[in-house]
Structure 1
Amino acid sequence: MKMKKMTEQIIQPELYDLLSLAAAADKIPAIYKEYVINKNRGLYAWMENENIVGCIGIELSGAGAAEICHLAVAPSCQRKGIAGNMIRRVCRLYHLQQLTAETDADAVGFYRSCGFAVSSLGEKYPGVERFFCKYIRHKGRRRDEAAD
């Protein structure tokens, strides 16, 4: 299992399919292009047996801070710890002390299980409640914990 930064100009079909789990299909080419050209963004693919089974896209927002913009795992590989492993790898790679994400009700439990503090943003879109998730790594502790 390895994580690979995506820098190719052409999006691979497996990656396109994964991003379509986290974004509208018609927006994926522009989203991918932004990851390739913007130095503050990074899109990483999680590889198993040379197949892309997960992806995480982040945007650096300051020293030691980033936002998860996209996070997806192939349905056949979900609930195997891949998303959590991608988050940990990105945190180590960029020496992140703070990581945030915005999500829907379906993913709140996942973020909480990874140590994120979760707060409601209310009904951001008609009939759709959104949530703000924030993870802060505390130095000097054996275990990372979330904070408000």
Structure 2
Amino acid sequence: MLTELPTLTPEAGSLLARAMFPDPERIALTLETYRTDPQRRVFVWAEGGQVLSAAGVHNRDTETEVLHLATRPGEEKRGYARALLHALADHLNAARLVAETDDGAVGFYRRTGFEVTPAPPRGGRARYRVTLRRG
């Protein structure tokens, strides 16, 4: 079940940190923006009272950008992140969900129904812009 968190919980923060560059200072700063920026929102997918996946998003005028998406270790590849993204799009009535990703996750987004286009490389690595259009 999709739930929007009114404030970032330690459990959701820990999940979101899995999707961030592994630098403790940078993670702390990014998590703080989820606590202080009203344009950033955190949603979780939970079943049986257990948070299984989390998404951090940024609302824009015409689209919602997925900034961070992660699933609890050991629960990957069970459809929780996919369910979260589709429920999120429905909940927000978003015309588009967008994200930027890398080679490691682009296949997931493709299988989830996102269109994939190349984005400028970053840090010497290929990047992709993914878009889920609705309506």
TM-score by length of 1: 0.80
Query: 2:34 aligns to what SS in structure 1?
Result: helix
1:113 to 111, 114, 129: 111
The one of 15, 23, 41 equivalent to 1:18 is 15
Deviation at 1:97, TM superposition (A): 0.8
CA RMSD of aligned residues (A): 1.8
**Aligned counterparts, 1:26-37, within 5 A:** 26-37=25-36
Name the counterpart of 1:81.
79
CA contact under 8 A between 1:7 and 1:36: conserved in structure 2? no
CA distance change for structure 1 residues 42 and 16 in 2, over 3 Å: closer, same or farther?
closer
Other-structure match for 1:132:
129
Aligned-partner SS, 2:19 = coil
Larger Rg: 1
Instruction: Letter of the 1:62 partner, please give it.
Output: D
Deviations 1:76-98 (A, max 9, x none): 11111111111111111111011
Q: Within 5 A, what are the aligned runs for 1:31-110?
A: 31-63=30-62, 65-110=63-108
Structure 2 distance, partners of 1:38, 1:87, is 21
* Distance in 1 of aligned mates of 2:28 and 2:4: 17
**Relative contact order higher in (CA < 8 Å, ≥ 6 apart):** 2
The AA in structure 1 aligned to 2:33 is E
Unaligned runs of 5+ in 2: none
Shift of 1:21: 1.4
What TM-score does the superposition give when structure 2 sets the normalisation length?
0.86
* Per-residue deviation, 1:3: 2.6
Q: Distance in 2 between matches of 1:116 and 1:6?
A: 25
Percent identity (aligned): 25
Alignment partners' CA distance in 2, 1:112 and 1:48: 25
SS in 2 for 1:75: coil
Paired residue type of 2:114: F
Mapped contact 2:16–2:56 kept (Cα < 8 A): no
